[in-house]
Structure 1
């Protein structure tokens, strides 16, 4: 009888290991900052504030987010000038979920592996999803530094449409969709 339970234990452990090895990695999502005023004026527009305060928390609170990553201005202050509005966009969701925002710098003086390393470390240790909220003017660098296989992705549309959500699983883009914010997003 003891060997039966021993064999059963080994079988259960092997099955659990096999299931864990084949379980898909949780997705992570990438969005840009919400709408900003023209002529490089600071902050979010009224529409951007509504997106950040109402729409983004409603959309992403349903997606099991356990980690939020955003950008910060690089050490020499020349890159990442849109990061303050990316952070302003991420803050209401972080507060609603009780999460802190983690940051990576942008530009020449920053660690290019920061985004990739922080996202993958979180996803490896968790079954929750992650959200990256980034400066809309720096999406090319983000996708490169996050090692996103962006074949077929229109990076220009991602940086110019505050309603787009890029879904990534295991480094591959698996979807691009609208937030569908009522009275904020027009027909696609």
Structure 2
């Protein structure tokens, strides 16, 4: 009897198949060969691993560096998008699951790109916001204030192009976020 059948109290007319019992090994297996096109492109051959050329690595590093040089414009745009998305949460904080999820996913995207481009302060704040919102379906007043504190810090980071850890200003911004967290946890 399957779990579905137990729940409904009805047994199906389906016959038992040996593969239904996971405690017994299957009598036959199918081997699906891996696609080796990429391996071949990287100089690999049967029995020999491929290798990425130093030239290809240098080109990739150059491309990442170029993106990093222009990241602040992308970051400003992403933070503006995040703030716009948060307006939907503000409009209905008690029933905002999809809007909160959208904000969390944008924060996650910012987190990844900022990290790649050397904006560790923005990365850390975006990660904190993502983790805070990831499993929430609604926000109370304290939760709204805490999320908005993140948005304020992120706005400051991109407005003043605070790369890396943001230096002394970054420390002050993180301190303001820590104060907001204390207010959140205070009863």
Query: Which bin holds the TM-score, normalised by the shorter protein?
Result: under 0.3
**TM-score of the two chains, using structure 1 as the length reference:** 0.27
| Greater relative CO (CA pairs within 8 A, separation 6+) | 1
Higher helix share: 2
| Larger Rg, first or second structure (1 or 2) | 2
